[in-house]
Amino acid sequence: MTTSQIETKVRNDISEQNPQGRFSPTFILDKLNEVFADRVIPDLYSIGGFNFLASLIITGELDLSVSAKDEDWKEADLSSWIDGESNAYVFYPTNPFAMVDGDDYRIPVTWIPFLSGYFTNYNLGYHKSRVLGTKLGNTVIIYDDDYSTLYVQAIEIKEYESGDTVDLDDYLIKKTIIPAICSECFIKDKGINMMNIFDMKYGRNLKRLERDVVRSFSPTKIVPQTRRNTYYGLKGG
C-alpha cells in the first residue's frame, strides 16, 4: 500500500475528504512516519520479533577490531554500517541479531549486560557454542578475540516520501498505521473522545495479532483416530 492510499483511507476514517481542510497531505505523511517509527515498529517487534517486519530487515557485515576496553576482546561500530550508498543505516535500537564467523557455521552472539562480561563463565552448556557480546550505544563488544567479522541483522526505520510504498503487509497497515494516524489527527483537532476510539481500535488489533502469534507457536495436537464397534468388532474410524 502506498502513502497516498493510506492517506485516502485515513481521510475516510476521520471524515475529512478535502486535502485543503484541517489535515494537509504533508501533515498526514509526517504522522505516518512518526507513528511508524515510534509506535508501530516497537509494538509489532515486541509481539512477533522479526515476523511482522521481514520486509524491513537489513543485513550486513562489520569488521571486528581490538576493543578499547580490553585487548582480549573485539568490537565493532554500528554507526559505520552503511546501506551501500555511504549512508548510515537508521534501525530500531533494540539489540540487533548478530553472529560471528565460526569454522563450520556462523555463531550467534548472546547479548548480556556489560558488567557481566567480566565475570561470566564462557562454558554455557549449549549444544553449539555461543559467543557473548554487549551493545553499548553503537559499539558492539565481543568477549573473545578469535573472530574478525560481525554479521548483523536489524530492522530499518525508513522515512517515506509521498507516493512511496510502505514496507508492511496491507493488513498490518490497516490494523496499526491507519488507526494510529487517525488518533494523532484528533489530538491535533482536540477531538479527544475520537482519539480514544482509534487508540482502542489500535490496541485491540495488537491483541489480536499477539493472539495469532502465540497460537502459531503452540505445539500441534495429535488427535488419535476414533474407533467404533462394528459387526466384526473394533476397527479404525
What is the rounded CA–CA span in Å between residue 151 and residue 143? Answer: 16
Per-residue pLDDT of the chain in tens (237 residues, 90 and over written 9): 999 999 999 999 888 777 776 789 999 999 999 999 988 998 888 888 888 888 998 888 899 999 999 999 999 998 888 887 778 888 776 657 787 877 666 777 877 766 565 555 444 444 556 788 888 888 999 998 999 998 888 888 889 999 999 999 999 999 999 999 988 887 776 656 666 767 777 888 888 788 766 665 554 444 444 444 444 444 444
Exposure letters 41-72 (e unless 16+ CB within 10 A, then b): bebbbebbeeebbeebeeebebebeebebeee
- Find out whether 142 and 63 touch, Cβ atoms under 8 Å: no
What value does the mean pLDDT of the chain take? Answer: 79
Give me the pLDDT at residue 18, please. Answer: 74
What is the rounded CA–CA span in Å between residue 183 and residue 34? Answer: 12
Give me the pLDDT at residue 65, please. Answer: 95
Residue 167: DSSP 8-state: S
For residue 195, give Cα distances in angstroms to 18, 51, 151, 202, 232: 20, 29, 42, 11, 68
Residue ranges of domains in the chain: 3-53+168-215, 54-155
Give residues with Cβ within 8 angstroms of 30, minimum separation 6.
Answer: none
Q: What is the pLDDT of residues 49-89, one digit of tens each?
A: 888 888 998 888 899 999 999 999 999 998 888 887 778 88
What is the rounded CA–CA span in Å between residue 121 and residue 118? Answer: 9
Give me the pLDDT at residue 31, please. Answer: 94
| Radius of gyration, alpha carbons of the chain | 24
Strands (E), 11-167: 57-63, 65-66, 74-77, 97-100, 107-111, 131-136, 139-142, 149-155
| Half-sphere exposure in the Cβ direction for 119 (13 Å, CA) | 5
Give me the pLDDT at residue 154, please. Answer: 86
- Find out whether 162 and 152 touch, Cβ atoms under 8 Å: no
What is the rounded CA–CA span in Å between residue 123 and residue 226? Answer: 49
CATH fold label, 54-155: Thrombin, subunit H (2.40.10)
Q: What order do you get walking across the sheet with 107-111 strand by strand?
A: 57-63, 149-155, 97-100, 107-111, 131-136, 139-142, 74-77, 65-66
Q: What is the pLDDT of residues 36-46, one digit of tens each?
A: 998 899 888 88
As a 3-state breakdown, the chain gives helix, strand, coil percent values, each rounded to 5, of 40, 20, 40
Question: For the whole prediction, is pTM greater than 0.75?
Answer: no
Q: Grid coordinates in use for 191?
A: 477531538
Give me the pLDDT at residue 119, please. Answer: 53
Give me the pLDDT at residue 159, please. Answer: 92
- Find out whether 133 and 45 touch, Cβ atoms under 8 Å: no
Give me the pLDDT at residue 106, please. Answer: 73
Q: Grid coordinates in use for 4?
A: 497516498
